[in-house]
Amino acid sequence: MGKRRIDIQRRILRFLLGAGLLSLLAMGTVSLRSIYGVQDIVMENAETMGNSVLAIWEEKAVDQTKRHLEEVAQGKARLVNHELDFLKKDAQYIANSMERILAHPERYSLRRLPSPAGQRVSSGEAYVLFTPAAKNPEEMDSALSEEIGLASNIADDLEIILHSYQKYQSSSFVASRDGYLICANLFSEENDYEIIRTVENHPAFASRNISRYQKAEQAGKGEFTVIYTENEHSSIVICYSPYYSGQQFAGVAGIALQLDSLYRIMADRSISDTDINFALNQNGTVMFSSLKEGPLAVSFEGAADLRNISEPTIAQAAKDMVAGKSGIARVTLEGREYELAYVPIPSVGWSFGTLIDREKAMSSVKTARDSISTGEGNFAARMHSSLVGNLWKLALLLLLVFGGLYFRSCRSAKRFVEPVLKLTEGVREIATGNLDKKILINTGDEVEDLANSVNDMTRDLKAYMENLSHITAEKERISADLDLAANIQTGMIPHRFPAYPDRTEVDLYASMEAAKEVGGDFYDFYLVDDNHLAVTMADVSGKGTGAALFMVIAKTMLKDFVLGTNCGSLGELVARVNDQLRQENTERMFVTAFIGILDLRTGMFEYVNAGHNPPLVYRAGESRFSFLAVARNFVLGGRKGINYQKQETVLAPGDVLFLYTDGVTEALNEKEELYGEDRLLETLNRIDVSDISAKEILEAVRSDVALHVGEAEQTDDITMMGIRFLG
């Protein structure tokens, strides 16, 4: 580039000086040709430089736009997947609770709930609705009345589940095939209350023989569907999960959310206000969408399969989405081109897609192209005008002073060529990655404007890359904090075994296999004195650092109360712990727990079950496991003033207690089938525990759970404890 600059200046001087020596005419002709040659070279360099800048900018803009679009789609899909996954788990939890109530009527008393048809119910309060034939409870069949009274014990679970959806307009419910509905609603407007007053109009119950109920019954697992109110076409997503009485289908349980909640999740991470967001199910049907009309809108007339529409780009993208793929595709929607990023939503088998108008996404490139084109045209016009004027000046000056002509020629050549060369060098340095480079040109013309445009473009590109680096660093910091919380949580529980090598009265072993996300499972054991061993197995509601912190509080408080207070029976002690946990519990978290104290001399075992899974006990005299009888006490931290019933049993030498959390019985395989209490009991009874240690018992159970889960991802902590009383 340096050699070219010198050649241009010499060429100008050669032509001008030769013209002065030969004649005014010869000088004019040569000078004119030379000056126009300079103009062509300068314009060619300017055009080359402009095209180079534009190509670099366009390539980076396209790459950055696609990458950002893909990141936004992945982020939104993760949020929607998280919400729908919890929706599905909560629906399954309600169904499991309903099956336990129907399977063990002897554990529950008949309960009567209010009905919004006859009295006002509060937001979040459980109620019951009856079929038209059974609206008068006095006229109801006695068997059905008794069944409704028994089923009404699900009310506490419905209300607790609903607390976790307080920021949404939602419902939790069970709908029996016998025609009654037990439900709790969060409603914000009066017309919301009017809709629930009759079972015929209730969104969760109306037309119970429609396909979504039948699909849930046939599939034997949770199903999602979208229904619409008849007045304003507002969308509701409902997750149904079937429940059974014995081996017979008894009804469905579920959670219902206004889809506006999912729209808010999508709206907080948008590239522009014209983003299009939608989700497809396994049949290619749009489940929810930010569009109100068109092929990507939710169809209120009937489900349409996007794989079969006439537009081939959208049809092919829909096939890839239904197949569970992820990627970016260019599609045509109503005559306009869009960039589509799609990502699977694994918890429900759907696929999430987000589109951005390609023309708007590339608007910055078009603006740069127009600016460069305009600058080049203005630069050419001014250069031509300036060259003609200077030619006349040079001719006149040559007549007066040859030396003055020489000085003017050098100055003119340098003034025309140097800014363009400087601009070209600066752009090349920027193209190598030096975004701190500033091109300083003070010519006062289009070259200066073009240099300023390049500087602005470089500044904006650098700011965007710095912002992207900041976001990436923040994600890494959050991930590191979660790893630290998980390590602290694991370090809080006893993990040295054998626990009491100098004691021969008991063989104890415990294990906790944490899921990827920080959870709230914990176990604990410690000697109250020389003759009494305290054990705890608990599970905090929710996931994340909040659950881990609540776990630490609950574990510490339980141990401190057992060791440091004299508050009467074990039931009274647990009641005091519950009151302390409930105090200042603004997040409404709770913990299920099983607490017991074993007398190492006599085998007397006192225990309190606070909403936790019932343990299993092995009786050496019978050579088999069975579930330990537990009272139906409330969870810890849910309400104040709860009385907890203490229970007792006597362990004979050789008897074994097996404690666990719901991560064992609710472990899912690739078909989303639960491990279940029945299989746990069958596995334990299949093991010959008469001459093996507590550790070997837990390892046998963990192996069977792993065999059931297969390649499926672990979604909850798997925590177990085995205690063999040796006497």
Task: Please report the DSSP string for 616-648 in residue order.
Answer: EEEETTTTEEEEPP---BPPBTS-SS-----EE
144-163 mean pLDDT: 90
pLDDT digits (tens, 9 = 90+) for 693-714: 999 999 999 999 999 999 998 8
pLDDT-based confidence at 272, cuts 50/70/90?
A: low
Q: How many helices (H) and strands (E) does the chain have?
A: 17, 21
Residue 511 near residue 523, CB atoms below 8 Å: no
Q: Residue 666 — pLDDT band, cuts 50, 70, 90? A: very high
If pLDDT is split at 50, 70 and 90, which confidence band does 32 have?
low
Q: How far apart are CA 537 and CA 535, in angstroms?
A: 7
Instruction: Quickly state the pLDDT bin for 363 (edges 50, 70, 90).
Output: low
In which band, very low, low, confident or very high, does the pLDDT at 492 lie, cut at 50, 70 and 90? confident
Q: What is the mean pLDDT of residues 436-442?
A: 79
| Better pLDDT: 66 or 518 | 66
pTM over 0.75: no
- Which of 271, 227, 224, 256 lies closest to 76, judged by CA? 271
Give percent of the chain with pLDDT exceeding 90: 28
Instruction: Decide: helix, strand or coil at residue 277.
Output: strand
How much is the pLDDT for 27? Answer: 61
CATH 3.40.1550.10, applies to 492-725: no
pLDDT at 659: 97
- State both tokens at 596: 């017991």
Q: What is the pLDDT of residue 3?
A: 47
According to the model, what pLDDT value does residue 19 have?
Answer: 64
Q: Does residue 381 have a pLDDT over 70? A: yes
Model pLDDT for residues 211-233, shown as the tens digit of each residue: 556 666 666 666 666 555 444 44
Average pLDDT over every residue of 634-645: 91
Lowest mean pLDDT among 2-16, 53-67, 421-435, 585-599: 2-16
Domain 104-262 bears CATH identifier 3.40.50: no
389 phi/psi in degrees, rounded to 5: -65, -45
Query: What pLDDT, on the 0 to 100 scale, is given for residue 186?
Result: 82
Which helix (H) or strand (E) segment is 171 a member of? strand 170-176
Of 148-162, 305-319, 424-438, 505-519, least confident by mean pLDDT is: 424-438
pLDDT for 604 equals 96
* Structure confidence at residue 231 (pLDDT): 46
Q: Which of 173-177, 225-229, 633-637 has the lowest mean pLDDT?
A: 225-229
pLDDT at 605 over 80: yes
Average pLDDT over residues 202-210: 52
Q: Stretch 491-505: mean pLDDT, rounded?
A: 86
Q: Is the peptide bond before 498 cis (omega within 30 degrees of 0)?
A: yes
Residue 287 DSSP one-character state: E
- Say how far apart CA 70 and CA 368 lie, in whole Å: 24
Domain segments of the chain as ranges = 2-67+363-464, 104-262, 270-361, 492-725
Q: Which of 583, 559, 561, 578 is nearest to 644 (CA)?
A: 578
Mean pLDDT of 267-277: 63
Q: Give the CATH number of domain 270-361.
A: 3.30.450.20
Residue type, 172: S
Rounded CA gap, 256 and 176, in Å? 16
pLDDT computed for residue 634 by the predictor: 94
pLDDT category at 594 given cuts 50, 70, 90 is very high
pLDDT score at 376:
65
For range 480-493, the mean pLDDT: 64
| Cα gap 650→398, rounded to integer Å | 123
Question: Over the Cα atoms of the chain, what is R_g?
Answer: 38
Is the per-residue pLDDT at 341 higher than 70? Answer: yes
**Other beta carbons less than 10 A from residue 372's beta carbon:** 21
For 521, phi then psi, to 5°, come to: -70, 145
pLDDT of residue 357: 83
Q: What is the pLDDT of residue 548?
A: 78
Q: Which amino acid does the sequence have at 321?
A: M
**pLDDT tens digits, residue range 68-120?**
777 877 888 788 788 788 888 898 899 999 999 999 999 999 999 988 877 78
Residue 675 has a pLDDT of: 95
pLDDT of the residue at 199: 55
Q: Identical fold at 270-361 and 492-725?
A: no
Query: pLDDT tier at 132 (50, 70, 90 boundaries)?
Result: low
C-alpha–C-alpha distance, residues 495 and 486, integer Å: 15
Which bin fits 91, alpha (ψ -120 to 50), beta or left (φ > 0)?
alpha
Q: How far apart are CA 610 and CA 632, in angstroms?
A: 7
- pLDDT class of 298 with cuts at 50, 70, 90: confident
| Maximum C-alpha span of the chain | 130
203 HSE (CA, 13 A, CB side): 31
Provide the mean pLDDT of the chain.
80
Pick from 3-7, 88-92, 113-117, 530-534: least confident: 3-7
